[in-house]
């Protein structure tokens, strides 16, 4: 039998599990606590001052959220601008590199053309510039070049090298002997040229002039 929400005179095994050990006093307290809490919330919300405070708090929260959102938008905008700037910089650098490469290629092509023209001109000169003995301009230039390097002002140190070349030439080129003139000495002999060489001051400057034979070969070195 059930009275006031409780089973009276009933064996416990016949009472449903969900209704066992129910303490109505506790239930009543819980209900009262919940009702009191709801009333407190209702009173707090319906109070005008509290409503104003809630509105102010809500507005501040919205402002903070808006500020954060704007901050993120600014950061995203700056990142986009930075990326665009990098892309533009890379494009500009690429164009400049391509232009420089094109200029270098054009300069190289121009130099190659000049060299080609010079070679062809030299070959034509060789064909047309035969001397009476059959010497070409290339042969003459090859012979004269080591001596013409010393033409003009030279120190005694470099004149020693020049006279060494003359000595070697006179021993190996019987048809193109070179005469050395220095002060009162005029000679083609190796020993005398060596003595002249030994009399130079390495730090003193001298003047060198060259003379040529009728075929265009250097045949005299004058030092003064």
Please tell me whether residues 151 and 174 are part of one structural domain: yes
Please tell me whether residues 82 and 152 are part of one structural domain: no
Q: Residue 211: which residues within 8 A CB-CB, separation 6 or more?
A: 218, 219, 220, 222
Q: Is residue 165 part of a domain?
A: yes
Q: What pLDDT does residue 92 have? A: 74
Please tell me whether residues 213 and 146 are part of one structural domain: yes
> Is the pLDDT at 169 greater than 80, yes or no?
yes
Please tell me whether residues 34 and 78 are part of one structural domain: no
Work out the angle between the directed axes of helices 48-128 and 137-148 (0-180°, nearest 10): 110
d(CA 199, CA 206): 12
pLDDT mean over 94-123: 67
Please tell me whether residues 177 and 207 are part of one structural domain: yes
Please tell me whether residues 42 and 82 are part of one structural domain: no
- Percentage of the chain beyond pLDDT 90 is 40
Q: What pLDDT does residue 77 have? A: 73
Q: Is residue 38 part of a domain?
A: yes
The count of structural domains within the chain is: 3
Better-scored residue on pLDDT, 209 or 65 = 209
| 172 to 18, 138, 175, 176, 218: CA distances (angstroms) | 132, 19, 9, 9, 15
Q: Is residue 99 part of a domain?
A: no
Show the domain range for 16: 2-46
Q: What pLDDT does residue 87 have? A: 85
Q: Is residue 21 part of a domain?
A: yes
Q: What pLDDT does residue 166 have? A: 97
Work out the angle between the directed axes of helices 24-46 and 48-128 (0-180°, nearest 10): 70
Please tell me whether residues 180 and 202 are part of one structural domain: yes
pLDDT mean over 22-44: 63
Please tell me whether residues 145 and 215 are part of one structural domain: yes
Please tell me whether residues 209 and 153 are part of one structural domain: yes
Please tell me whether residues 176 and 216 are part of one structural domain: yes
């Amino acid at each position: 039998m059930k009275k006031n929400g409780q089973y009276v005179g009933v064996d416990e095994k016949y009472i449903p599990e969900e209704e066992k050990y129910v303490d109505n006093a506790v239930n009543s307290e819980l209900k009262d606590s919940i009702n009191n809490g709801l009333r407190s919330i209702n009173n707090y919300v319906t109070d005008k001052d509290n409503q104003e405070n809630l509105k102010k708090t809500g507005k501040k929260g919205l402002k903070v959220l808006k500020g954060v959102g704007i901050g993120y938008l600014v950061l995203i905008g700056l990142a986009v601008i930075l990326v665009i700037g990098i892309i533009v910089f890379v494009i500009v650098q690429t164009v400049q590199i391509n232009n420089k490469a094109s200029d270098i290629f054009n300069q190289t092509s121009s130099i190659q053309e000049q060299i080609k023209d010079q070679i062809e001109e030299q070959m034509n000169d060789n064909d047309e510039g035969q001397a009476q003995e059959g010497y070409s301009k290339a042969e003459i230039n090859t012979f004269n070049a080591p001596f013409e390097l010393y033409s003009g002002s030279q120190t005694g140190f470099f004149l020693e090298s020049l006279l060494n070349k003359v000595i070697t030439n006179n021993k190996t080129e019987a048809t193109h002997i070179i005469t050395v003139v220095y002060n009162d000495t005029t000679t083609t002999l190796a020993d005398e040229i060596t003595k002249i060489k030994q009399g130079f001051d390495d730090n003193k400057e001298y003047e060198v002039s060259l003379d040529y034979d009728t075929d265009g070969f250097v045949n005299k070195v004058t030092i003064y």
